[in-house]
Amino acid sequence: MDIRYNERSRTFTITAGDSSYVIGIADKEGFIGHVYYGAAIAEEPMYLLRIDEPPFVPTKNNRDRGSFMDTFPCEFPGNGLGDYRDGAVEVIDAGGHRAIKLTYEGHNIIDGKPALAGLPATFETDGARAKTLEIYAKDEALNVKAVLRYSVFEDSDAIIRSTELINESATPVLITKIMSASLDMDSEDFEFLSLHGSWARERQIDIRPIGYGKTSVGSVKGESSHQEHPFMALIEKGSTQEKGRVYGFSFVYSGNFLAQAEKTQFDSVRVMMGINPQGFKWELKPGDSFQSPEVVMVYSDCGLGKMSRTYHDLYRGHLIRSPYKDKERPILINNWEATYFDFNTEKLLDIAREAKKSGIEMLVMDDGWFGRRNDDNSSLGDWNVNEEKLPGGLKYLVDEVNKIGLKFGIWMEPEMISPDSDLYRAHPDWAIQIPGREGVRSRNQYVLDLTRKEVLEHTWNSIKTVLSSANIEYLKWDMNRQITDIGSAELGRDNQGELSHRYMLAVYKLQERLVKEFPNLLLENCSGGGARFDAGMLYYSPQIWCSDDTDAIERLGIQEGTAIVYPLSSMGAHVSDCPNHTVGRVTPFETRGNVALAGTFGYELDITKIPQEDRDMIPFQTATYHKYNKLVRSGDYYRVASFRENHYYDCFGVVSKDKSEALFTFVQVMGRPNYHSRVIRIPGLLPDVKYVVEGVSEEPEEWLGSTLEKAGLRIGNLWGDYKSLLIHISKADD
Ligand code: GLA
Peptide bond into 172 cis (omega under 30): no
Ligand 1 pocket mutation pick from 475, 480, 581 by most atoms within 8 angstroms of CB = 480
Ligand 1 pocket member 480 (CB < 6 A): yes
| 478 in catalytic set | yes
pTM of the model: 0.98
Residue 517 has pLDDT above 80, yes or no: yes
Ligand 1 pocket member 155 (CB < 6 A): no
72-318 and 332-634 share one CATH topology? no
Beta strands in 27-129 (DSSP E): 31-39, 89-92, 103-111
Residue 678 has pLDDT above 90, yes or no: no
Mean pLDDT of 339-352: 98
Output the CA 413–ligand 1 centroid distance in Å.
Answer: 9
Cβ atoms of 349 and 400 closer than 8 Å: yes
- Name the closest-CA residue to atom 2, ligand 1: 528
Beta strands in 81-158 (DSSP E): 89-92, 103-111, 130-139, 144-153
Which residue of the set 27, 93, 366, 478 is catalytic? 478
Closest CA to 353 of 411, 400, 392: 400
Mean pLDDT of 357-377: 98
Instruction: Note the pLDDT of residue 675.
Output: 84
Residue 674 has pLDDT above 90, yes or no: no
Phi, psi for 522 (deg, rounded to 5):
-90, 115
Ligand 1 pocket member 528 (CB < 6 A): yes
Ligand 1 pocket member 202 (CB < 6 A): no
Output the CA 515–ligand 1 centroid distance in Å.
Answer: 22
Closest CA to 474 of 333, 317, 633: 333
Instruction: Note the pLDDT of residue 221.
Output: 98
Mean pLDDT of 337-348: 98
Residues 125-161: tens digit of each pLDDT: 999 999 999 999 999 999 999 999 999 999 999 999 9
Enumerate the domain spans of the chain.
72-318, 332-634, 640-731
* Alpha carbon distance 261, 728 (integer Å): 41
> What is the overall mean pLDDT for the chain?
97
Kindly indicate the confidence band of residue 203, based on its pLDDT and cuts at 50, 70 and 90: very high
Instruction: Note the pLDDT of residue 308.
Output: 98
Output the CA 106–ligand 1 centroid distance in Å.
Answer: 50
| 548 in catalytic set | yes
Output the CA 478–ligand 1 centroid distance in Å.
Answer: 7
Residues 275-309: tens digit of each pLDDT: 999 999 999 999 999 999 999 999 999 999 999 99
Ligand 1 pocket mutation pick from 367, 444, 537 by most atoms within 8 angstroms of CB = 367
Ligand 1 pocket member 336 (CB < 6 A): yes
Q: Provide, rounded to the nearest whole percent, the portion of the chain with pLDDT above 70.
A: 100
- Residue 509 backbone class (left: φ over 0; alpha: ψ -120 to 50; beta: rest): alpha
CATH number of 332-634: 3.20.20.70
Output the CA 224–ligand 1 centroid distance in Å.
Answer: 17
The yes/no answer on whether domain 72-318 falls in CATH 2.70.98.60 is: yes
**β 19-26/31-39 pair status:** antiparallel
Residue 402 has pLDDT above 90, yes or no: yes
Ligand 1 pocket member 560 (CB < 6 A): no
Residue 677 has pLDDT above 90, yes or no: no
Closest CA to 40 of 232, 302, 299: 299
Residues 697-726: tens digit of each pLDDT: 999 999 999 999 999 999 999 999 999 999
Ligand 1 pocket mutation pick from 333, 341, 378, 478 by most atoms within 8 angstroms of CB = 478
Residues 376-397: tens digit of each pLDDT: 999 999 999 999 999 999 999 9
Output the CA 627–ligand 1 centroid distance in Å.
Answer: 30
CATH number of 640-731: 2.60.40.1180
Q: Which residues pair with 251 in a beta bridge?
A: 295
Instruction: Note the pLDDT of residue 189.
Output: 87
C-alpha distances (whole Å) from 598 to each of 77, 114, 562, 568 are 42, 34, 12, 6
Q: Cβ contacts of residue 575 below 8 Å, gap of 6+?
A: 550, 589, 592, 593, 596, 602, 603, 604, 605, 621
Residue 119 has pLDDT above 90, yes or no: yes
Mean pLDDT of 169-183: 98
Helical pair 499-517 and 453-468, crossing angle rounded to 10 deg: 30
